[in-house]
Amino acid sequence: MKAYVLNFKEIDKTKLMAVGGKGLNLGQLSRIEGLRVPDGFCVTTEAYRKSIESSIELEVMIDKLSGLKSDNRELTSEISSEIRSTIEKLVISKDIENEIEKALFLHGENEAYAVRSSATAEDLPNASFAGQQDTYLNVKGKTEVLRHVVKCWASLFTDRAVIYRIQNGFDHKKVFISVVVQKMIMSEVSGIMFTADPMNSDRKTLSIDAGFGLGEALVSGLVNPDNYKVQAGKIIEKNIGTQKLEIKPSQNGGVEEMKVEADRQKRAALSDNHIEHLAAIGKRIEAYFNYPQDIEWCFANNDFYIVQSRPITTLFPIPQSIDVRNPRIYMSIGHTQMMTDAIKPLGMSFFEMISQFSLDKSGGRLYADITHDMASAMGKKRVLMATGKQDPLILSAVKKLMEDKAFMASLPKGKRNLKGGVITGASILQAIKISKKNNPAIIDELLAEFEEEFHGIDQQLSKLSGEQALEFIREDREKLLAMSYDARMLGAIIAGIMVNDSLNKNVEKLLGEKNVADTLSKSMEHNVTTEMSFALCELADEIRKYPKILTYISNEPSDEGFFEKMLTLPGGNEVYKAFKVFLDKYGMRCPGEIDITKARWEEQPTQLIPMLLNNIRVLEPGRHVERFKKGRQEAKEKEAELIRRVKALSGGNKKAKKIAKSISLLRNFIGCREYPKYYIVRRYQVYKKALMKEAEMLAAKGVICNREDIYYLYFDELCQVVKTNKLDNSIIEARKANYIHYEKLTPPRIITSDGFVPSCAIASENIPKGALPGIAVSSGVVEGRARVVLSVDEAKLEAGDILVTQFTDPSWTPLFVNIKGLVTEVGGFTTHGAVITREYGLPGVVGVENAIKLIKDGQRIRVNGTEGYIEVLE
């Protein structure tokens, strides 16, 4: 007969399915010599199984639940509530009750206990399920313990637990629940300790949150806890929270809130000695489990007690190197490309196709090993120069790493990895040549060449299939790279960037005015991203003419039959033609477009609807044209003003002539930086059509289940599958599960092979107290309502809103027509959001760490795009 109760000392690594994640970890913790773990036992999953197995009603309700998706919240809540109510009415059988009673007698019938749920899908390496089931504190007496065991069983079906399982792909029928019954510690102080920093995945920094009383005050968010940071056993940072409340055990069972005396409210909850002692305990536990831990602890009678430990599931995995003996440094490529989302394997393969250096894969992202670059004086200069423009926070992290002289001296020397990119000898020579001629006709000549090459590839590839098509794509890589890094186009881009910097410096020196290039960059020619935004506004203006079409797209139509249904409505033919014009030129674009697996606008045209509706709701017809003309006029007026003021200076005519030439050069070339990416993405869509044709054939043969399954294969693997028509589908399923996990992780900008993540913080002495520092990329100061937006399709912006997001790419450009300021977590001076804000004359600050967490949707904020900071006003 299977046991209904197991004492902690009886629990070993084989007992997960009997006692759940929490129970298993307590069994392991109780084996660590010298560690104080409050004694107790687990009511096993077998007791839960036996208690519910005879209820047909429960089985039917759980079946109903299994068919729901996470966005069906109302029905999920209704069924979950019914399930909980049914479970709470269960009567525990006598044999189970007897075993619990014996365990209570052994551990002390009159003791107070904490009764906690412990599910079999809980405290696992990839899914913690933390806080999904219920915990009951200070439970006294057999009757109350039994009652709360049943309540814990019911908590397996709280709304939050059910939705979490749906989102993480766990079958409700395959998750069972054990209940931990553990002696209560009447804590004076309690809290949570992370043996690695969960905010940035830094394995070298241990983080402790501490508050007075029981841990429930901290967990439920009633107090601002103290936070202590510890490195190598030494405290490096202390933030003391003001704690006005604490939770204490009630005399008759349960807990109660109490006010903290005034003299204790701002006092540190733990002394320095206690902090360092607790940190040492944490490192012992981490060493035992051989993985960073999330540890619940409490302090009473001058000693620490550990009541739980689980793996930290949000840590970004360290890229793996063949060289395990020497330290390595890895740099995020996603941050430099404005694409920090997880990428599927096929997307990674095509990302590598446009890279001129080797990349490492980790956590669904791509990293460049810059170890040998940082070990070389010349390589170091190149890293610092490149990152300064692309993502200044990477630059800040690299500089922080360089402060550790011993670490830098330990780096192995070898062949540098980073090469190519925008800054090359050839592109610099072209930049000089283009700057001298200052003739924008070179751009049109290059675009004509790119167009001709693109159409030739499209025609050739459309005639091929099978291995021939894939081999054509493989061989086309050299032409793709030649186009992507064409020295003439890069020279034009560099010419624009260089004159932007020099113009700002010269005018500030002569006239004392900062960032004049921001105004002079408004409404430029040769900006394919702005042209796309215009085209979308034209499409919106066409739609607004036809009320039936507007109603149709407002009712969330599906992509399937989208145009067919449109054509049955008045104005459908006209709007369809307008859509066709837009998609013929820009249909290959989408959010995260550098990932070939992302659905393009021509594949899912309904992605455009939120932006179209925003434009229709906020803009008057033709407003985009007026705005462009106004921007161009403002730039001309600014130019005339600067020339007039410079001429008034000593030697003014000569200086004014130089300024005028710089302004001309700026307006001729600053807008062309998006062209290489535009043509890469166009080429990708030609490739993708060929890939999806093969995917359809593989699906028809039963080799894969769905067309999109090929996204979980690397390109070389796909070539092999097309050749052999064989595939182990368990590979696809495993990678799908990994991708779901990777999506939730936050990739660090820089990480070392031993898990150190250097701080990206930028010096902020000159900003107001409490302001959020960032990188000033477009001058001006503006106040407005913050709109925190995580994806383009959920954007609902009104005129005057300030867009706050992780990053933007060209697919976001249409939203800039409606906003009056921009804040992003990722970016630099030359990245998409920075360029567009300058062109539209919008104040912009990028590189604001944790902006989407620290700024709440709807708050009024002030964006200072001149000095580079954000103030939350309410």
Q: Is the C-alpha dihedral spanning 116, 119, 121, 125 positive or negative?
A: positive
Residue 75 carries which side chain, given as an amino acid letter? Answer: L
Bridge partner list, 113: 139, 183
C-alpha span between 677 and 354 (Å, rounded): 10
Residue 336 carries which side chain, given as an amino acid letter? Answer: T
Contacts of 120 (CB under 8 A, 6+ apart): 16, 17, 20, 21, 45, 174, 175, 176, 177, 178
Q: Which of helix, strand or coil describes residue 450?
A: helix
C-alpha span between 742 and 352 (Å, rounded): 19
Structure tokens at 660: 């005028």
Is residue 860 within 8 Å of 840, Cβ to Cβ? no
Is residue 595 within 8 Å of 338, Cβ to Cβ? no
Structure tokens at 192: 């949570």
Residue 394 carries which side chain, given as an amino acid letter? Answer: I
C-alpha span between 170 and 446 (Å, rounded): 53
Half-sphere exposure of 689 (CA within 13 A, CB side): 17
* H or E segment and range at residue 469: helix 466-475
Residues annotated as catalytic are 832
Using CA atoms of 420, 421, 422, 427 in order, give the dihedral in degrees to the nearest 10.
10
DSSP secondary structure letters along 11-42: --GGGHHHHHHHHHHHHHHTTSTT-----EEE
Structure tokens at 355: 């890279």
Instruction: Of 226, 208, 216, give the one whose Cα is nearest residue 184.
Output: 216
Using CA atoms of 178, 179, 185, 190 in order, give the dihedral in degrees to the nearest 10.
60
C-alpha span between 864 and 870 (Å, rounded): 6
Structure tokens at 405: 């002289």
Plot region of 138 (φ>0 → left; ψ -120 to 50 → alpha; else → beta): left
Is residue 704 within 8 Å of 710, Cβ to Cβ? yes
Per-residue burial over 143-152, b = 16 or more CB atoms within 10 Å of its CB, e = otherwise: ebbbbbbbbb
C-alpha span between 516 and 496 (Å, rounded): 14
Give start and end residues of each alpha helix (H) in 648-765: 652-669, 675-700, 715-724, 729-743
Structure tokens at 360: 């490492």
C-alpha span between 12 and 451 (Å, rounded): 66
Q: Which of helix, strand or coil describes residue 244?
A: coil
C-alpha span between 279 and 285 (Å, rounded): 10
Structure tokens at 470: 């894939």
DSSP single-letter state for residue 749? S
C-alpha span between 265 and 243 (Å, rounded): 5
Is residue 137 within 8 Å of 254, Cβ to Cβ? yes
Strand pairing of 775-778 and 40-43? unpaired
Rg (C-alpha) for the chain, rounded Å, is: 31
Measuring CA to CA, how many Å separate 726 from each of 658, 695, 698, 710?
66, 13, 9, 13
Q: Which of helix, strand or coil describes residue 536?
A: helix
